[in-house]
Amino acid sequence: MTRNLTIAVDEELLAQYREVARRRNSSVNSMIRSHMAETVGVNDAMKREAVARMRAWARTGPKADVGGPITRGWGDHAD
């Protein structure tokens, strides 16, 4: 559930923030929501969950069979 939030900010600060949002093709609301989520670690939790899913898939998913050692394709000599 989302809730509305009313804040009071300096007019010049808001004007500058709107300009930053415009340059980022974003909105003041979106930038504030992102900042709030970042502050409380929502994005960190989402990243940890994604990494856990990738690790689980790596353990159980299909494995590549490369058929022997991987070489640079120029032979087996050292530079």
Model-level pTM? 0.53
**With contact defined as beta carbons under 8 Å apart, do 22 and 15 qualify?**
no
pLDDT > 90: what percent of the chain?
38
Structural domain boundaries enclosing 40: 11-60
Number of domains in the chain: 1
Q: pLDDT-based confidence at 73, cuts 50/70/90?
A: low
Q: pLDDT-based confidence at 22, cuts 50/70/90?
A: very high
CA dist., res. 34 & res. 39, Å (int): 9
pLDDT over 70 at 30, yes or no: yes
Chain position carrying tokens 């032979």: 75
Does the residue 66 lie in any domain? Answer: no
Does the residue 42 lie in any domain? Answer: yes
Task: Please give the pLDDT value at position 20.
Answer: 96
Q: Higher-confidence residue: 27 or 79? A: 27
CA dist., res. 63 & res. 59, Å (int): 9
Does the residue 2 lie in any domain? Answer: no
Task: Please give the pLDDT value at position 79.
Answer: 53
